[in-house]
Structure 1
């Protein structure tokens, strides 16, 4: 965005004590009155943490100069907007409006409410915030403080479900003879508005690189779009070639310091092999 909003706010840091452990002022090991928002196994945060997060976003300083920044903060606000507009929680809204009708039965927020732990991949052994293996709970710290549901993080899925959703995007919002999203809406999100300023991204969607550095193999069409995730995920759709490519990993397990798939360009190299096989 060009809104001067900060890229990221580590909300959780202010909830740690002098030993960098979850402060008892903010957390309880049991679900009790006033501590009903679960952030991890046997760890619950105060119910008013949500208000504190939104207040901190509202009062956060803006950058002094106008320049492009990748930020997750607007998606915190987007969740609130959607829930107020549709008058239902985000996790219920997306299940009823999209995931269930499209047949994405393994896509959900709060996966432990639906699936056993052996069906869920762990994401990290957390030594800096929750002090445990993060398994079945959202990896993102801010989304965890909101109870696992946010506009920027918290969604669990598998490759088959994500492929259905990306195929729906590729088909201009249509899937199974049903129009989920208007084509003109998808076009608005899949447009590179600041390419002339060397900013490749659309609205929500990432776009192919404009130079040698970027998320893809460099061999995709400029009409293609997708997203790469912090924990090691990648989803990309190319309408020109009618290709949907999904790569899922838990590269942050056991530690987020593991950057091997990034350093070795694994996701984009596999994508390049797919395109090369078509040309051959």
Structure 2
């Protein structure tokens, strides 16, 4: 078993352990924080997703961007210091990437980069009167994004290893695709409304977006003694924007 496969298996085990720890910690904390404004919730986010790179954008008909959709879902826990101010964290699984169409000059007619992340946000939440039937809510902050999978779909065929005939990152390079991408840090914001169902339960609808603050590509990746990425390739970023549908439960009474 090669070292990359072992690393991948260990990474997946760590993600499952982290998720289980988060859920268990939330359940244990419920009695302690019930009277102090703890809330827990679930959310699902149909989203438009993009991979932004200046070199890729300038390649013309050989690499044309097309609209790409993804889905994110997960759980959150928050602590409200005041009726209008609190913090949030959670775990969010996100499928994203980018679709391209080409004229064949880059070795493909259709190409999709598929990336999967586990996102861990730390957000400040502000809102208007939570006792109203509907109230404004906004969040902003940062999130750490752990890469959990990556592959290319070239002309409807899945690849875990870069095809040597593909001129996307570098023609002739053959490397494990997941190794070409990296964990990253992103800025996050959301803006929308929550709708009061009862004293302890509400539903929400918001626009949520995030943008990478660090390079999502592993520019240090080598093939033998040669770098996979060109030395002058600019920073690459993820961009997502979607409608967040959420359900939240307030523990205890305000």
Compute the TM-score of the two structures, normalised by the length of structure 1: 0.21
Greater strand proportion: 2
Compute the TM-score of the two structures, normalised by the length of structure 2: 0.22
Greater helix proportion: 1
Determine which structure has more spread, i.e. the larger CA radius of gyration: 2
